[in-house]
Each structure stands twice: as C-alpha cells, then as structure tokens.
C-alpha cells in the first residue's frame, strides 16, 4: 500500500450576515447597504445592530492567510463558511427570501402581534435548523476529506449587535446571537468529540445519529468510525445566546473536549452589554489531558473590537496577530504572516493606544432597554487570576466615552493596591508587529492645495491644519454624512510618497483614504 501524506483540514466559521466573499475589505462604517421592504418592515441584511455594514472579520482574514502547502509538505485544505443570512443571488444582491429574513419578519410580527406566536416560533425553528445545517455541512466536509493522521483545526467568531428587544432590529439580534460562527465551531468540536468521524461510506447513518443526539439518546456509532483528534479550536470572544433553552445539539460546549489539543480564545475586557455574556472555556472535571493546552487571554476593547467588526479597530489587528502567533509558534499551521501583517486595518501611530468602542452607548438610546449595561468585571467574568494581553497595559485610562466602561484603574481599585495583573508575554511575532507599527503610517498633516484646475470649478481646496478647530476650509467640499451624523468632506492626504483622495470630518481622527483594500487614517 502506498503511504498517503497527512494533511490539515481547516474550517473557518463566520457569523450571521458575515461573508468575506461579498463584503469588501475596509468598507467604511456607517455606509448603509441596500435594504428590502416587506410588510412595511425595513430589513437590512448583512449589517450589525447599529445598521453598519460588516467589515472583514478576523476569521475571514486568517482563512486567506493559509498556505496551500506547509513547509513540511502537508496540504492545507480550507473551508470558509459565510454566516447565516449572507445569501446573495448572482448579482450580489441579498436574497429577500432567506431563512433569516423570513424568521426576522415573523419574529417582528410576534413582537407586535401576539397572535403570530406560531408563525414566529416556526420561523425561528427554521433559523435554528439553518445553523444546524452549517454544523452538518462542516462535519461532512471534514469526514469526506479525513484520513488517519490528518489534522483538524477550527476557527470561529461571533458578530456584535447592539439592539433592543422592543425594536424591530432586536429580531435580527435574536438570530445573530444564536446563529454565530464561534457557536458553530464549538458545537462542531463537541460533535466530533462525541461521535468521531464517520467514513464516507457510512455518512448515510449521520441523520440517524444526529436525531439520536438531538432527542437525548445515546448515539449508535458504526464500526470503522475514526476517533479523530482536533489540533486546535481558535475563537474570538464567544458570546452567549438569548436562546439558552433552544439548542441545535444537546452537546456541552463550555468544557474543553478531550479530543482538542489546543483551545484558544481572545476575550473582550470592555464589552459592556449584559446580554453579550462571554462563554469561557472551562477545565473538565478531571482536568486537562497531559498534552492539552487551554489559553484564554483578555484584550482591551468591546466585543467587536476583539473580533474585527469595526473598520477602525486597532485591537482587532492585535488579536489577529496574537492568534496568528499562537498558531504558528506551536507549529499548528503554516500561514502567510506577511499577508496577515498587510491586512492590518488600524493606522493609529502608537501601538495599543486606540480608544475602545463603547458598545452600549453606541446603541441608539431608544434601543438600550433591551440590551442593558453591565461590564464583565461586574458580571464576575474577569477575576484577579485572569490573564491579560500586554496591550491592556497601554490601553487608555481616560476614555472619550467612559459611561459603563472599565479601565485598568477600575480593576486596580477593585482588587487592591497590591494586586498585580498577570500579563501574557508577547511572542517574537507580536514584538515584530509592534516594532513595525509606525512603519505603515502616513504623514501627520493634510495637504492644503487649490485644485480648481483639476476640478474645473471655482477656488476649491483640499484641507489641512495642525489645529483641529481649523480643519474645515470655508470652501471644503461636502461629500456625505458619517455614522456619527457629522458632515464628511472630501480631502486628500499624503501617504507613502503619493497623494490620495479621502474623507474627513470633525468627528473623524484624520483623513481616511483607501489603501490596498483597507482604510488608512492619516492623522491631523
């Protein structure tokens, strides 16, 4: 028999409405997508709770950095799964009849009209089943490709939504917070741990085994099923579901499965919405196996900062670099680390000093009742023994929007003056990224220039100033409105030896210009 070289099988699970293939990199926050209207209800698909188009998540960015072949000759096969509700037709138009949209509309009618309970629950059941389909599809992909000696790696992220249970948008939140990539990845790991991997010839038995698990019966596993180990499960801030009693599979996903070698999770310190409870990995009753690794590290920022929902989040770059480092330094995966570096979103000059998003306060006031404010220290998820990332040392203690937020000072006051936080050391790769942080920056001023001859109109100026109060020239050209409601003006900034058109406003931190598929901020 000819020996077959082992390979790596990777599954990347993105979240509801999130699909990197149909959402361009660096898409500006606050730009509204096309919407569909049905029964008088506005349903905007592939957006987060604040009505903003999703940006490339860390799951999508990491999946694109996987090399086809590792340096030691292993093939690396990737399955990237877009999230539920990201379905489009051939013209890239979101499909109005998707399961999520139908469930969303039915749930909205449930909120408004109590007689629609049956319709709402039926639609919700379809949405839950759609999530189950994601799990089944991923399981089938792995089972069809798996051979003894192969390595399995799973990654997932949950999108952030900040909406109220009394508003229409809350219906989308209910679905988003159940159907999520991190949920799929964790359940998939638990499923493989529970039943192993069926050989392709016996996959016809999967539906029976699935039903046995769902109904609480002991699954009947056929002979020849592989007892497969999972080399790694990597997650960005898994958050809990509002549907605690509705589950696609009756499988525990809080404890680290015995078949998982390395469990990784980046967690958000400054998420302050009570409903966005983190699901931490827990150590099994009898402890971790001899070679098992559990690493959970707390990062500054909100849930979306950590996972990559925001286009301007420096923190998501730092968490991506951390995950990349954890994977590569353990020899789990061969990645194009240059691509990872180049995919960086943030252009803040100093490392780890960007302001975190205040997710609760960014939720419209009319919608906060259903979200409720409660930080993760108050909820006892953070404790004196928690492990923090080095970026937390540098995170601002004076916040632009401090309401319901915590800082290093909050924890120091709570745990006492003698308390010393435990910080995970930076890896060589992270140190390298940190040292190169300012290398990608532009100059620190706009270019003030009369461009009448270029545009063919009167005296029109690009604008620049060292004084924030004087940014706007009297003849600056308005170009729209940003997510803060401020007028956005057309500008141009010097970057890497060239001049590039962009946008600025009083609420932005500089001139935002497109660069290599991302958005670069040239500071004032």
Tens of pLDDT along the chain (524 residues) come to 556 789 999 999 987 556 666 665 433 333 232 222 232 222 222 223 333 334 678 999 999 999 999 999 999 999 998 866 556 666 555 554 454 444 444 444 334 334 444 544 454 555 566 778 889 999 999 999 999 999 999 999 865 443 333 333 333 333 333 446 888 899 999 999 999 999 999 999 999 999 999 888 999 999 999 999 999 999 999 886 544 434 556 666 688 999 999 999 999 999 999 988 899 999 988 899 999 999 999 999 999 899 887 776 789 999 999 999 999 999 999 999 999 998 887 666 689 988 999 999 998 887 787 788 999 999 999 999 999 999 999 999 999 999 999 999 999 999 999 999 999 999 999 999 998 886 554 333 333 344 344 433 333 334 433 333 334 555 567 777 666 667 777 777 766 666 667 777 766 666 777 655 556 676 64
Q: For residue 183, what pLDDT is reported?
A: 81
Estimate to the nearest angstrom the gap between the alpha carbon of 507 and the chain centroid: 25
The answer to whether 242 and 174 are in contact (CB under 8 A) is yes
The count of other CB atoms within 10 Å of the CB of residue 409 is 10
Q: Using DSSP, state whether 106 is helix, strand or coil.
A: helix
Residues 95-121 as b or e (16 or more Cβ within 10 Å = b): ebebbbbbbbbbbbbbbeeeebeebbe
**pLDDT value of residue 328:** 97
Instruction: Classify 46 as helix, strand or coil.
Output: coil
Beta bridge partners, 77, equal: 9
Residue 452 pLDDT: 40
H helix or E strand, kind and range, residue 277: none
Instruction: Annotate 123-160 with b (16+ C-beta within 10 A) or e (fewer).
Output: bbeebbebbbebbbebbeebbebbeeebbbbbbbbbbb
Give the model's pLDDT for residue 324.
Answer: 98
What 3-state class would DSSP assign to 428?
helix
Q: For residue 449, what are the β-bridge partners?
A: 462
Backbone phi, then psi, for 450, in 5-degree steps? -75, 120
β-bridge pairing 151-157 and 230-236: parallel
Rounded distance, CA 90 to CA 230, Å? 36
Gap between the Cα atoms of 501 and 99, Å rounded: 40
């Amino acid at each position: 028999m000819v020996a077959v070289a082992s390979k790596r099988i990777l599954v990347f699970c993105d979240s509801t409405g999130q699909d990197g293939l149909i959402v361009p990199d660096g898409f500006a926050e606050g730009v509204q997508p096309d919407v569909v209207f049905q029964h008088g209800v506005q349903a905007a698909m592939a957006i987060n709770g604040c009505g903003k188009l999703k940006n490339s998540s860390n799951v999508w960015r990491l999946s694109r950095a996987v090399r086809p072949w590792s340096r030691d000759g292993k093939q690396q096969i990737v399955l990237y799964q877009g999230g539920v509700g990201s379905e489009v037709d051939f013209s890239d138009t979101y499909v109005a009849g998707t399961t999520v949209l139908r469930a969303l509309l039915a749930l909205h009618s449930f909120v408004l009209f109590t007689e629609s309970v049956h319709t709402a629950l039926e639609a919700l059941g379809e949405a839950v089943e759609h999530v189950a389909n994601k799990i089944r599809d991923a399981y089938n992909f792995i089972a069809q490709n798996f051979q003894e000696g192969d390595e399995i790696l799973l990654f997932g992220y949950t999108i952030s939504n900040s909406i109220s249970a009394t508003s229409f948008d809350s219906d989308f939140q209910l679905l988003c917070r159940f159907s999520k990539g991190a949920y799929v990845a964790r359940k998939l790991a638990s499923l493989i741990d529970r039943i192993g991997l069926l050989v392709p010839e016996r996959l016809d038995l999967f539906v029976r085994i699935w039903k046995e698990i769902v109904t609480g019966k002991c699954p009947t596993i056929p002979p020849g099923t592989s007892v497969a180990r999972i080399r790694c499960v990597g997650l960005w801030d898994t958050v809990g579901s509002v549907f605690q009693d509705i589950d696609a599979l009756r499988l525990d996903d809080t404890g680290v499965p015995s078949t998982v070698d390395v469990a990784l999770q980046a967690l958000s310190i400054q998420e302050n919405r009570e409903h966005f409870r983190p699901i931490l990995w827990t150590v099994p009753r009898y402890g971790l196996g001899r070679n098992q690794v559990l690493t959970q590290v707390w990062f500054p920022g909100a849930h979306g900062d950590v996972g990559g929902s925001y286009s301007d989040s420096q923190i998501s770059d730092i968490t991506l670099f951390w995950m990349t480092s954890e994977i590569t330094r353990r020899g789990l995966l061969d990645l194009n680390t240059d691509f990872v570096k180049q995919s960086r979103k943030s252009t803040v000059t100093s490392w780890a000093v960007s302001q975190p998003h205040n997710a609760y306060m960014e939720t419209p006031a009319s919608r906060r009742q259903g979200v409720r404010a409660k930080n993760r220290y108050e909820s006892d998820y953070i404790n004196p023994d928690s492990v923090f990332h080095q970026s937390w040392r540098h995170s601002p203690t004076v916040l632009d929007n401090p309401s319901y937020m915590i800082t290093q000072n909050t924890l120091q006051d709570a745990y006492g003056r003698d308390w010393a936080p435990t910080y995970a050391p930076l890896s060589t790769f992270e140190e390298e990224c940190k040292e190169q942080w300012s290398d990608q920056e532009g100059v620190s001023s706009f270019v003030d220039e009369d461009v009448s001859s270029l545009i063919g109109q009167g005296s029109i100026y690009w604008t620049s100033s060292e004084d924030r109060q004087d940014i706007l020239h009297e003849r600056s050209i308005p170009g729209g409105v940003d997510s803060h409601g401020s007028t956005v003006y057309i500008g141009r900034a010097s970057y890497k030896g060239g001049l590039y058109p962009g946008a600025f406003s009083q609420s932005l931190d500089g001139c935002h210009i497109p660069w290599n598929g991302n958005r670069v901020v040239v500071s004032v």
